Amino acid sequence: MYVAVKGGDQAIENSQKLLAEERRGDPRVPELTLAQIREQMSLAVDRVMTEGSLYDPELAALAIKQARGDLVEAIFLLRAYRTTLPRFGIGEPIDTAAMAVRRRISATYKDLPGGQLLGASFDYTHRLLDFALAAGDERPVAEIAPEGVEPGMPHVADILNHEGLIEAEEPDADDAPVFDLTRESPRYPADRAARLQNLARGDEGWLLGLGYSTQRGYGNNHPFAGEIRVGEVAVEFAPEELGFPIEIGEITVTECQMVNQFKGSANVPPQFTRGYGLTFGHCERKAMAMALVDRALRADEFAEPIEAPAQDEEFVMAHSDNVEASGFVQHLKLPHYVDFQAELVTVRALRRKAGLAVDGPDSAVPDAAE
Amino acid sequence: MSTVIPHPTASTATEATQARIEGYNFAYLDEQTKRMIRRAILKAVAVPGYQVPFGSREMPLPYGWGTGGIQVTAAVIGPDDTLKVIDQGADDTTNAVNIRRFFAKTAGVATTDRTVDASIIQTRHRIPETPLTEDQILVYQVPIPEPLRQLEPRESETRKMHALEEYGVMHVSLYEDIAKFGRITRSYNYPVRVNGRYVMAPSPIPKFDNPKMDRMPALQLFGAGREKRIYAVPPYTEVKSLDFEDHPFEVETWEENCALCGAGDSYLDEVIVDDQGTKMYVCSDSDYCRERREAGHVGDGGPNSGGPQ
Amino acid sequence: MADTIDIRPGFADPVAASQKVFRAVLDAMSRPGRIGTIDETIEPPAPLSVGAASLLLALADHDTPLWLAPEIRTPATAAFLRFHCGSPLTDDPGEAAFAVATGDSLPALDGFSVGDDAWPETSTTVIVQLDELTEGSGLTLTGPGIATEHRLAVTGLRDGVWPEWTANGALFPRGIDLVLVADRRIAALPRTTAVRTED
């Protein structure tokens, strides 16, 4: 009775059995297969892979099933699995210019080399509940285009670069050490690589809210969606013993390059600047929000005043991770009665000092309205 | 109607070593991670009270539920150890049970409820009442390792403050309390100074426990998983609770004794026994309470007991 | 082939051995001057001692640059440590996480990394191979980890180390930490330990 959360093995075991039963739901309804989740809840799978930092649709589907559709919980499951995996080395940078593009849009040019490619998108759907879908059984088929996509789709930023209108982006030296957020604790000020890793793993809702806040004046950075592209890229790895990279697989990614107007500062000429977002799978909203926040966090680089939450590196990075945030918010469910008791003692002492009655049920009554 | 449920007396003995589950390394963590944590622990011991950053891993338990303490314990523990896990002073709180289960499963080590039988004690929010010895290691679970965090949210700033030993902001904050309330109102996680240098968060133990940290014969290790910090207090090291000459540090006292064992020197939990708000007090340290009762000590049984039980 | 090096085996059971060695050094670091023993059965290439080799096998890896004093850095020791630990060998003691040296030719202590006031954990841990370590007489040690004082006698350490050690202590929180090794016996002096050479 007085051990507030008192359990022991039995209570935990029983709770977990009940959880499994509730996860399954009504047993007369057929059980979900991982293939169904992977194929028909693919955007959920993509989000879990992105924030879970592990590209494995099958395991992400399992995590979603096990988590009863709670994506933050599924992300946690995938992350906890990921930390147990051996690490063979660092892959080659992926080349998104060589992407097999499924969707590519630019808001900055009406037409551009490679063209606009709408691909599969909710963008122009009328958000009307589709009752035919509720009935199931439909097999939608999209026609195959008479011509293939033009090969070679330069990045919009590179087009601007020809004219020197956008900040140059120089790749790091090949042998430069790669910071790994999953193995080192972040140091502030962080560099952009550390920030982008943090944002890529960051909670979509957190980034969406922060990105949105920059559009509403909290750290405005004048963004244009220079380009958003979704498609497949090759992953390459150079094993130590071979000495040259080999292709080890293909992943789907979403990339967003924001182009931001910049009037110039004492050190930097007027030009366009960049904000970058990249996710596993198709996570367009996340990639765009990430790009907005990335640019906002570069305020210092461009001598912009740091005034808004989205520009504040420590604030953004320290609170972006939903596995950390969810754990710490929910740890308030753990018993705190030792500390609460200490606070009771203190509050009673303070009240005594203030000449208020304490201790005993009677004295509690007049305080209720305070 | 109210009944008083005594502290459970079942499963008090040291439980024998269990078989480990297959498929995971000893104590769950991989060896590379353990090495990284071990190096951090050694540096933490060498710089008492300084928070060493470490590459905290995602554990199969949520952040905020003891992942720092778990990682420290996992890096320290060996097959010959006997582990005790407490939360709020008690071995039978759900999270303590769960963490003990985790190590019994992944390390196959012996576990115990008895403070004196443990070689490693992992704790959340309490220091056992029974004095610890040189043969023991106390591992604290820490939610917010930075004692200055509530006064300065930025890591980049607090790191400078520690480097420069600039703790004025903390003293000002404590003194403001005195000016406003006539006393320091912090009742737990009460800041300490270690070996005259670093101001350190003792984790959210009640300030009642602070004096136990001072010159403790056991090694004290602190793990903060979400915040990715490890720190330590070596044995026999001065740990002083911050105070002022005219307002010396003092701990909570109760007029009451434990209703079960009659202890007048232990930290007491307040228990509401009926819907009128009638209170009774019992030891928060369940092992200490049981030991005293086994030694024949008896409390008054609480307000509705009609006398000692 | 002339340049083939026979690499001696590391720990037979790396998981258990690493844990035991770590506990020995943790205990040594927590109770400066108390002597612990490494029980692992390894035969590292000379002049690497069992104690020093065990410490490195347990604690060093590719994240920890390692500096070996010239008399210790032989093709056989370098190959052994590279193979088992994967540590990059550095020529600059100032960038080493771990260093191994012999007591009678220990370089000046200020040549190692002492870390930074904001990041004092980045300093070098220096493993010093000695002839003998004995508890109960010799140096008088005080500081964290020590109830009153510990006595420790060391043989095989060059002259002039202790004034340098006092200077190292004055840098706190910066400073190197020492692990003293005599064959299988180890003792540690964290930067907080004050050493008196006379009674």
Pairing of strands B110-111, B268-272: unpaired
Tokens of C107: 């370089």
Asked if the C-beta of A83 comes within 8 angstroms of chain B's C-beta atoms, the answer is yes
pLDDT of residue B22: 75
Residue B42 to residue C15, Cβ atoms within 8 A:
no
What does the pLDDT read at residue B13? 52
pLDDT, average across residues B284-306: 87
Contact criterion met (CB < 8 Å) for C22 and B76: yes
Distance CA B266, CA B287 (A): 12
pLDDT in tens, B57-89: 999 999 999 999 999 999 999 999 999 999 999
Helix and strand numbers, DSSP H then E, in chain C:
4, 9
| A-B contacts at Cβ under 8 angstroms | 164
What strands lie across the sheet with A100-105, from one edge to the other?
Answer: A100-105, A223-237, A246-262, A271-280
* CB–CB contact B46 C192 (8 Å): yes
Report which residue type is found at B146: E
* Chain B interface includes C108 (CB < 8 A): no
A303-312, A336-345, B240-249, C57-66, range with the lowest pLDDT: A336-345
- Distance separating alpha carbons of residues A345 and A359, to the nearest angstrom: 10
Asked if B290 and B7 touch (Cβ cutoff 8 Å), the reply is yes
Please tell me which of the candidates A6, A185, A364 has its beta carbon nearest to residue B55: A185
CB pair distance less than 8 Å for B38 and C61: no
Nearest residue on chain B to A331, alpha-carbon basis: B64
Q: What is the pLDDT of residue A269?
A: 86
**Cβ–Cβ below 8 Å for C61 and B35:** yes
- Best mutation site among B187, B230, B285, B288 for testing chain A: the one with the most A CBs within 10 Å? B187
Cα-Cα-Cα-Cα dihedral of B169, B174, B177, B178, to 10°? -120
Q: What is the pLDDT of residue B3?
A: 40
pLDDT digits (tens, 9 = 90+) for B118-152: 999 999 999 999 999 999 999 999 999 999 999 99
- Contact between B104 and B67 under an 8 Å Cβ cutoff? The reply is no
Residues of B whose CB is below 8 A from A358: none
The span from the CA of A33 to the CA of C73, in Å, is 59
Q: Specify the fold of C14-192.
A: Rossmann fold (3.40.50)
B153 vs B144: CA distance, rounded Å: 11
Tell me the per-residue pLDDT of C164-189, one tens digit each, with 9 for 90 and over.
999 999 999 999 999 999 999 999 99
Give the SS3 label for residue B175: helix
Query: What does the alpha-carbon distance between residue A121 and residue A228 come to, in Å, rounded to a whole number?
Result: 12
Tell me if B145 sits within 8 A of B222, measured CB to CB: yes
Give span(s): CATH 3.40.50.11310, chain B.
7-252
Per the prediction, chain B carries an average pLDDT of 91
The first and second tokens of residue C19, run together, are 């844990």
Query: Above 50 in pLDDT, residue A364?
Result: no
Beta strands in B153-209 (DSSP E): 192-194, 198-200
- A70: Cβ contacts below 8 Å, ≥ 6 apart: none
- Please state the rounded mean pLDDT for residues B264-273: 92
Superfamily (CATH) of domain B7-252: Bacterial phosphonate metabolism protein PhnH (3.40.50.11310)
> In Å, how far are A223, A238, A294, A295, A299 from A220, measured between CA atoms?
8, 41, 12, 10, 10
Question: What integer pLDDT is reported at residue C3 of this predicted model?
Answer: 57
- Specify the pLDDT at position B15: 63
| Percentage of residues in chain A having pLDDT higher than 90 | 61
- Name the residue type at position B108: G
Per-residue pLDDT of C69-79, as tens digits, reads: 999 999 999 99
The Cα B163–Cα B166 span in angstroms is 8
Q: Which chains touch C (3 or more CB pairs under 8 A)?
A: B
| Range A235-241 contact pairs with CB under 8 angstroms and sequence separation of 24 or more | A235/A91, A235/A92, A235/A94, A236/A91, A236/A92, A236/A94, A237/A88, A237/A89, A237/A91, A237/A92, A238/A89, A238/A92, A239/A88, A239/A89, A240/A89
| SS3 state of residue B15 | strand
Sign of the torsion formed by the C-alpha atoms of A177, A181, A184 and A190: positive
B interface test, pick of A341, A359, A365 with most B CB neighbours within 10 Å: A341
Contacts of B93 in chain A (CB under 8 A): 3, 5-7, 335
Buried b (16+ CB within 10 A) or exposed e, B241-280: bbeeeeeeeebbebebbbbbbbbeebbbbbbebeeeeebb
Share of chain B above pLDDT 90, in %: 80
Helix (H, G, I), strand (E, B) or coil at A198: helix
DSSP letter for C196, please: E
A196-212, pLDDT tens digit by residue? 999 999 999 999 999 99
* DSSP run (H or E) holding A51: helix A42-52
Strands C125-129 and C185-189: unpaired
Nearest to B220 by CA among B134, B140, B280: B140
Q: Which A positions 305-334 lie with beta carbon below 8 A of chain B? A: 314-315, 318, 323-324, 326-331, 334
Q: Do A329 and B24 touch (CB under 8 A)?
A: no
Name the residue facing C190 among B45, B197, B233 (closest C-beta): B45
CB-nearest partner of B56 from A6, A185, A361: A185
Taken in order B208, B213, B215, B217, the sign of the CA dihedral is positive
Q: Which residue of B has its CA nearest to A79?
A: B58
- Identity at A187, one-letter amino acid code: R
- Label the pairing between strands B219-224 and B137-141: parallel
pLDDT of the residue at A150: 75
pLDDT, tens digit, 9 for 90 and up, residues B174-215: 999 999 888 898 999 999 999 999 999 999 999 999 999 999
Highest mean pLDDT among A2-16, A138-152, B237-251: B237-251
- Predicted confidence (pLDDT) per residue in B1-29, tens digit: 344 444 444 344 566 566 677 778 899 99
User: Which residues of chain C register pLDDT less than 50?
Assistant: 1-2
State the alpha helices, DSSP H only, in C31-160.
Answer: 50-59, 75-85
Closest chain B residue to the Cα of A351, Cα to Cα: B181
Which one of B63, B93, B267 has the shortest CB-CB distance to A323? B63
Chain A: residue whose CA lies nearest to B208? A342
Task: Give chain C positions within 8 Å (CB) of B53.
Answer: 121
Q: What is the sign, positive or negative, of the torsion defined by CA atoms of C87, C89, C94, C95?
A: negative
Which residue in A293, A290, A272, A271 sits closest to A280, CA to CA? A290
Residues of B acting as catalytic residues: 49, 258, 261, 283, 289
In whole angstroms, give the CA distance from residue C2 to residue C5.
8
Residues B14-53, buried b or exposed e (16+ Cβ, 10 A)?
Answer: ebeeeebeeeebbbbbbbbbbbbbbbbbbbbbbbbbbbbb
CA distance A283 to chain B (A): 23
CA distances to B6, B128, B203, B272, C113 from B286, rounded to whole Å, are 10, 9, 20, 18, 47
Domain boundaries, chain C: 14-192
Cβ-Cβ contacts under 8 Å, C116 against chain B:
163
Contact C117 B163 (CB under 8 A): yes
Secondary-structure breakdown of chain C: helix, strand, coil percentages, each rounded to the nearest 5: 30, 25, 45
**Cβ contacts (< 8 Å) between A336 and chain B: which residues?**
88, 125, 204
Q: Are B44 and B50 in contact (CB under 8 A)?
A: yes
What secondary structure does DSSP assign to A255-276, as a single string? Answer: EEEEEEEE---SSS-SEEEEEE
Please report the pLDDT score of residue B115 as a whole number. Answer: 98
CB pairs under 8 A between B and C: 108
Q: Cβ(A270)–Cβ(A264) under 8 Å?
A: yes
Asked if A331 and B64 come within 8 Å (Cβ–Cβ), the reply is: yes
CA angle A38, A41, A44 (to 5 degrees): 100
